[in-house]
Amino acid sequence: MHRHRVVTICPLASAIPNSGLLPVSLLKKLPVILAVLWMGLVLAACGGLTPSGTNAKANKPLPETLVTRLTAIGSTPGAAMMIRIFKESSELEIWKQTKAGDFKLVKTYAICTWSGALGPKVKEGDRQSPEGFYTITPAQMNPNSSYYLSFNTGFPNKFDRAYGRTGSNLMVHGDCSSVGCYAMTDTQISEIYGLARETLKGGNKSFQLQIFPFRMTAQNLAKVSKSEHLPFWKNIKEGYDRFELTRRPPVWDVCEKRYVFDMAAKSGVQLVATDACPAMTGDAKLVAALAKKQAVDDQVFASTVETLEQRAAREAAEAASATEAAADAEAEKAAIIARNAAIGTFVGDLFGGKEEDVKAVVNPALVAPHPFPRLNRG
């Protein structure tokens, strides 16, 4: 049972001295005015009132199922958040920080559609969806989007700008349609936007967005070993691996036109994206764990590439053999047809020649003779 505390505000009028600046009639109405204001504040704080001018979609409460899930993993709506996107499998993951400090998966959403192919966005109009690491701030949240709700990915970021990449308004949004963006259903973006809103309201200045072409395993990289994007993908794989090992979003920056993760310059200077990386320090244990993991991944990558190349060579040989066999079969079929035609011609010539050599022996001008009358031998 809820208990309501009764607050007496009527005596307030008598407690306010009348200096002659306020009319007596207004002073008499002051308790009522204050009561209305107080009730309004109470209701607004409880969610009973929506302040005028706000967007109902953008302020929609989180579904109870999400709140329950957050509680189950030891997190809260206002806790820090991270989003991961995987193009190839069309998945968007929401991760939330727990009370223990690590991040746990809250929910995975099926991306409605994204445009382009695997690989980063390069220039305005290439219809590519971006890849890389991005930081989302309150200024990038759009409650008045033409695509229900949205937030800007922040492309081009520091890394993208180092390569002169161009593009604008690359969003994660609703409406299930995309030209260079990541489109969700309206129901999905409502939940995603709500989780992001609560994170930013919870005192977090931003949250991290990680976008990958696929899950960054050695096997998956081996499948695209011939791609021009392989060096870039190997670079962002380090950030992926750091999160897999620690379950904490890595702090990223850019120097030498590449991402660096969880590293700080010893001199404390700001990193310049196109300049050489200065001497940097990081967690020695994590660096060792990463080196160990990378050594294993390198072996798996090499063996998988070799296996895939052998398979490709075998399949190419089988395809060539099948093509040769089909060509031989067609040639044999043509030879049989030609042989049968030759035999038919030979037989025709042997027993009467060709059809055009046969001459007519019946003269239609001649009349058949009439038979003699039958002799009467009786």
Q: What integer pLDDT is reported at residue 127 of this predicted model? A: 94
One-letter amino acid for residue 125 of the chain: G
CB of 123 within 8 A of CB of 165? yes
Q: What integer pLDDT is reported at residue 151 of this predicted model? A: 98
Q: What integer pLDDT is reported at residue 209 of this predicted model? A: 98
Task: Measure Cα distances from 132 to 85, 96, 129 in Å.
Answer: 10, 20, 10
Give which of 237, 235, 228 is closest to 119, Cα–Cα: 228
Q: What integer pLDDT is reported at residue 157 of this predicted model? A: 98
Which residues make Cβ contacts (< 8 Å) with residue 289, sequence separation at least 6?
245
Q: Model confidence over 30-73: pLDDT tens digits?
A: 555 554 444 343 333 322 333 334 689 999 999 999 999 999 99
Active site residues: 173, 181
The tokens for 297 are 């991944």
Task: Measure Cα distances from 216 to 84, 104, 212, 364 in Å.
Answer: 12, 19, 8, 94
Q: What integer pLDDT is reported at residue 40 of this predicted model? A: 41
Is the backbone peptide bond immediately before 77 cis, with ω within 30 degrees of 0? no
Q: Can you tell me the distance from the alpha carbon of 138 to that of 51, in angstroms, rounded to the nearest whole number? A: 19
State the CATH architecture for 64-301: Beta Barrel (2.40)
Task: Note the Cα 148 to chain centre separation in Å.
Answer: 18
CB of 89 within 8 A of CB of 164? no
Q: What integer pLDDT is reported at residue 322 of this predicted model? A: 80
pLDDT tens-place values along the chain, 378 residues long: 333 333 333 333 334 444 444 454 544 555 555 544 443 433 333 223 333 346 899 999 999 999 999 999 999 999 999 999 999 999 999 999 999 999 999 999 999 999 999 999 999 999 999 999 999 999 999 999 999 999 999 999 999 999 999 999 999 999 998 888 999 999 999 999 999 999 999 999 999 999 999 999 999 999 999 999 999 999 999 999 999 999 999 999 999 999 999 998 888 889 999 999 999 999 999 999 999 999 999 999 999 999 998 888 878 877 887 887 888 888 888 888 888 887 777 666 666 555 555 555 666 676 667 676 666 665
The tokens for 266 are 């010893």
State which H helix or E strand residue 358 sits in. none
Burial class of residue 152 in the structure, from the number of CB atoms within 10 Å of its CB (0-12 exposed, 13-18 middle, 19+ buried): buried
Which residues make Cβ contacts (< 8 Å) with residue 300, sequence separation at least 6?
218, 219, 222
Q: Is 14 helix (H, G, I), strand (E, B) or coil?
A: helix
Helices (H), 249-368: 284-350
Cα distance from N-terminal residue to C-terminal residue, the chain: 145
Q: Regarding beta strands 207-212 and 81-86, do their DSSP bridges make them parallel or antiparallel, or are they unpaired? A: parallel
Q: Can you tell me the distance from the alpha carbon of 118 to that of 228, in angstroms, rounded to the nearest whole number? A: 11
pTM for this one? 0.72
Q: What integer pLDDT is reported at residue 372 of this predicted model? A: 65
Got the DSSP string for 65-82?
A: HHHHHHHHTT--TTS-EE
SS (H, E, C) 164-224: CCCCCCCEEECCCCCCCCEECCHHHHHHHHHHHHHHHHCCCCCEEEEEECCCCCHHHHHHC
Q: Can you tell me the distance from the alpha carbon of 68 to that of 357, in angstroms, rounded to the nearest whole number? A: 99
Q: What integer pLDDT is reported at residue 335 of this predicted model? A: 85
Token match 């050489």: residue? 276
The widest CA-to-CA distance across the chain, in whole angstroms, is 174
Which residues make Cβ contacts (< 8 Å) with residue 223, sequence separation at least 6?
304, 308
